[in-house]
Amino acid sequence: MRDLVVIGAPTSAGSYAPGQEAAVRVLRELGLLERLRATGRDVRDGGDGPLQVWSPDPGRPRAQNLPAVVESVTAVTDRVAAALREGADALVVGGNCTIALGVMNALTAYHPGAGLLYVDRHFDLNTPRSTTDGALDWMGTAHALDLPDAAEQLVSALARRPLLRPEHLYHLGVEFAAATDWEQEQAVRLGLRWAPHTALAEDPAGQVALALAALPPGPLAVHLDVDVLDFTDAPLAESTGGRNSGPSLDSLGVALAAACADPRFRVLSIGELNPARAAGCADVMDRFLATVAGALAGADRSAAA
Ligand SMILES: [Mn+2]
């Protein structure tokens, strides 16, 4: 099994409020690296990108804290690229879902045919024009696909345009009704492949198998926004909208284990985890750590570098 490099992206610059910048620090304190090592893998600490705590950006209201988001994406890119050069897999702990841009920036440079399994309640296809809230954390795939009205400073920081084409991407766990009109239109126009959060909850193994069959033969990244989880089972996400819908943590674990065991797998990234959400629920962070460690322990030992 390849070594694993753990990389932090302690940023909430693209958020609605602070919180996600603390996720990697809290998970480290709860024994993230030790839990991963206990699965038998050689685990190295790849360090963290810049600490960025959200504050409102009235000077750029539709793309708040854009320079900080670009800086964070670039830091993830550099650290994931270094891990891949060393022949290792990577775990990136955000931070915002924009970390997936950094992951794919590095992975597509390593292999242009890389694919992305995007496990999220949202498409993240918004642009500074399609939503008034100005939070870049649900605009990432719009920038990867270089959609109209994406923020030029972020798109131009990526290694190629577009960074991804629709056939490189599969969305798993989408709540279609939670998408903006623009996102729904783009998903149809681009022919994006996606499966709903209800299907992921009911048949995690089957839905991951369908997604993996649809993704390209090149190396694979898996991105998890913890907002896909049923918030009643596992209150971890910045967004509290997932109450009583979406997969339980156990069901998500089945999906993640299957995805990370695929021979193409190289990088798992985790976004939008706000530790404050779990403050009243003593075991949920520990259950989450066990889920992540279990998924990464299952990677195929026979996989070629
Ligand atoms: Mn989301």
Ligand 1 centre and the CA of 121: distance in Å? Answer: 5
Ligand 1 centre and the CA of 138: distance in Å? Answer: 6
Ligand 1 centre and the CA of 227: distance in Å? Answer: 5
Q: What is the distance between the alpha carbons of residues 134 and 92, in angstroms, rounded to a whole number?
A: 24
Per-residue pLDDT for the chain (305 aa), expressed as one digit of tens each? Answer: 899 999 999 999 999 999 999 999 999 999 999 999 999 999 999 999 999 999 999 999 999 999 999 999 999 999 999 999 999 999 999 999 999 999 999 999 999 999 999 999 999 999 999 999 999 999 999 999 999 999 999 999 999 999 999 999 999 999 999 999 999 999 999 999 999 999 999 999 999 999 999 999 999 999 999 999 999 999 999 999 999 999 999 999 999 999 999 999 999 999 999 999 999 998 999 999 999 999 999 654 444 33
Query: What structural domains and CATH numbers belong to the chain?
Result: 4-297 (3.40.800.10)
Beta strands in 58-179 (DSSP E): 89-94, 115-119, 169-174
Which residues have a beta carbon within 5 Å of ligand 1, which is an ion?
Answer: 120-122, 225, 227
Q: Which residue has the tokens 């021979």?
A: 263
CB 283 within 8 A of CB 249: no
Q: What are phi and psi of 170, to 5 degrees?
A: -145, 125
Residue 258 neighbours by CB distance under 10 Å: 21
Ligand 1 centre and the CA of 226: distance in Å? Answer: 7
Ligand 1 centre and the CA of 87: distance in Å? Answer: 30
Ligand 1 centre and the CA of 271: distance in Å? Answer: 8
Ligand 1 centre and the CA of 260: distance in Å? Answer: 20
